[in-house]
Amino acid sequence: LAGKELKKEPTVVKVGDVEIGGKEVVIMAGPCAIENEETYIGTAIKVKESGAKILRGGAFKPRTSPYAFQGLEEDGLKIMAKARDITGLVLVTEVVDTRDVDLIASYADIIQIGARNMQNFKLLHEVGLTNKPILLKRGLAATIEEWLMAAEYIMAAGNSNIILCERGIRTYETATRNTIDISAIPLVKELSHLPIVVDPSHATGSWKYVNALSKGAVATGADGLIIEVHSDPSNALCDGPQSLRPSKFDQLVNELRPVAEAVGRSL
């Protein structure tokens, strides 16, 4: 189902008036996690003004340490819903447990499956039973075939609205948090009709490289980007070092426009 044997034309995932996989390069942005109402809504307004169409934010966080901030859970989802009411942005947020799928589906417009859960087959099946588009992140060490087979699990359960997300893979290189696999973009386009977006924030772990890699992703055919933006990165509860300040994000979107146009897209 994820391959091109049965469906040759590209899948365009529609959420409200946003289309992922069409002519427009779609920008998703927001902090790693929802920390409190005031800063979340402030950041939401800023990223919208800069041109983001989709607002990100984690309410259930899959953290490496059990002692790290785990997210505000349903209180965080409520803050997200308020941000949507104010800005009109479409919401994307992660689910980490099959028991929370219905709760998250009741708030989110797009459900995210994180890298660590790409092969959580029960979770893939459960989100496949919902009618929400799924942002499926590539696993930390997943091959492109394993990633497409994870999409296949969701599609086999009845949900074909999938957006693939390249977010860097583990390699021997430790200078960046992960290694961005730019080749995944044309390869996925060759093998699958599903749209693909790139997350340069988790791919590099450092805000300094987000601008260059965003341009590389758009130049090589990505249908969108998902970028971490925080109003005060040095005090962020999660992923501060890779978060852009709103002003840098605004600059990035402006610099991306000519890159998108050069490959026949709009932004």
Residues that bind Mn ion (CB under 5 A): 32, 239
Residue type (1 letter), 230: H
Q: How far apart, in whole angstroms, are the C-alpha atoms of residue 126 and residue 106? A: 14
Largest CA distance in the chain: 49
Choose from Mn ion, ligand PEP, none: what does 167 bind? Cβ within 5-8 Å by kind.
ligand PEP
Closer of 235 and 266 to ligand PEP (Cβ): 235
Closer of 87 and 93 to ligand PEP (Cβ): 93
Closer of 112 and 192 to ligand PEP (Cβ): 112
Choose from Mn ion, ligand PEP, none: what does 177 bind? Cβ within 5-8 Å by kind.
none
CA distance readout (Å), 23 to 197, 261, 267: 13, 10, 9
Residue 20: φ, ψ to 5°: -105, 120
Closer of 64 and 234 to ligand PEP (Cβ): 64
* CA dihedral for 220, 252, 46, 50, sign (positive or negative): negative
Check residue 24 and report its DSSP letter: B
| Residue 183 near residue 224, CB atoms below 8 Å | no
Closer of 211 and 243 to Mn ion (Cβ): 243
Closest residue to ligand PEP using C-beta atoms? 114
CB 25, min distance to Mn ion, A: 21
Choose from ligand PEP, Mn ion, none: what does 114 bind? Cβ within 5-8 Å by kind.
ligand PEP
The full 3-state SS of 79-131, as one line of letters, equals HHHHHHHHHCCEEEEECCCHHHHHHHHCCCCEEEECHHHCCCHHHHHHHHCCC
Binding-site ranges for ligand PEP (CB under 6 A)? 32, 58, 62, 114-116, 137, 167, 199, 202
CB 246, min distance to ligand PEP, A: 18
Closer of 7 and 116 to ligand PEP (Cβ): 116
Which of 263, 249, 224, 258 has the alpha carbon at shortest distance from 25?
Answer: 224
Choose from ligand PEP, Mn ion, none: what does 115 bind? Cβ within 5-8 Å by kind.
ligand PEP
Choose from Mn ion, ligand PEP, none: what does 137 bind? Cβ within 5-8 Å by kind.
ligand PEP
